[in-house]
């Protein structure tokens, strides 16, 4: 895989709680230079033009998050965040499921969360569902994937990168790909900082990689 091909797997991400507009501007500049698929920024950084001035993303897509990072927001709040982001021109929403509901096995409530965000994020915009796979057992990963399918999501995603249990693993990506099949996206995110790890996730079934180290991943 060439660097240019690998770049099209990457969501170049800045979700640090202490991020400032100059860092967002630098992220955009680097994303366009590297040719990544998307950038992902916090909702407070939207609309981009009001934060960093006129922006030319070219082919780079714009993503943001909802219910981030804990997932312990109400369904209505997650949907409202998504709807506001759509008005600000985003192409993709990465929403966090309520992990407690996953532990409880409440597939219907989980699917309701996803469906609400899906309704607020009309196609062709994409909805990615973050399940925090490192905090789940295999059966819970399957349940979260099933609920994501039920709710009409386009992707399932391993991690926020903020949970103490950790980020993406090859095992989790393989399970998620197996559960959702070939038609749905799988995004590996959390702790992916080098070329070898990114390629391992892609070989395991990831169709997108979330990272804050795009230049390092593409430099090897």
CA atoms of 4 and 109, how far apart (whole Å): 40
CA atoms of 143 and 136, how far apart (whole Å): 10
213 Cβ partners below 8 Å, 6+ apart?
Answer: 192, 193, 194
β-pair partners for 64: 93
CA atoms of 212 and 27, how far apart (whole Å): 9
DSSP state of 15: -
DSSP state of 167: -
Residue 4: how many CB atoms within 10 A of its CB? Answer: 10
Give start and end residues of each alpha helix (H) in the chain: 3-7, 21-34, 48-52, 75-87, 99-104, 107-120, 138-150, 170-180, 195-204, 214-219
CA atoms of 90 and 73, how far apart (whole Å): 20
DSSP state of 44: G
Q: Which residues are catalytic?
A: 94, 157, 187
């Amino acid at each position: 895989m060439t660097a240019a091909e690998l770049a099209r797997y990457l969501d170049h991400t800045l979700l640090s709680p202490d991020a400032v507009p100059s860092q967002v501007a630098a992220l955009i500049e680097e994303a366009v230079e590297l040719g990544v698929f998307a950038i992902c920024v916090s909702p407070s950084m939207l609309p981009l033009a009001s934060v960093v001035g006129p922006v030319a993303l070219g082919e780079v897509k714009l993503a943001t998050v909802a219910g981030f990072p804990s997932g312990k927001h109400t369904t209505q709040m997650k949907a409202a965040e998504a709807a506001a982001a759509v008005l600000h021109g985003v192409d993709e929403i990465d929403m966090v499921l309520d992990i407690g509901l996953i532990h409880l096995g409440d597939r219907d409530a989980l699917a309701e969360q996803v469906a609400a965000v899906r309704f607020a994020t009309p196609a062709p915009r994409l909805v990615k569902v973050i399940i925090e796979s490192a905090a789940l057992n295999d059966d819970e990963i399957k349940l979260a994937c099933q609920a994501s399918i039920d709710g009409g999501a386009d992707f399932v995603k391993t991690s926020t990168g903020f949970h103490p249990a950790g980020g993406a693993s090859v095992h989790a990506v393989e399970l998620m790909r197996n559960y959702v099949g070939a038609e749905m996206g799988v995004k590996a995110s959390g702790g992916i900082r080098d070329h070898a790890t990114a390629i391992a996730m892609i070989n395991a079934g990831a169709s997108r990689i979330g990272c804050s180290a795009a230049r390092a991943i593409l430099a090897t």
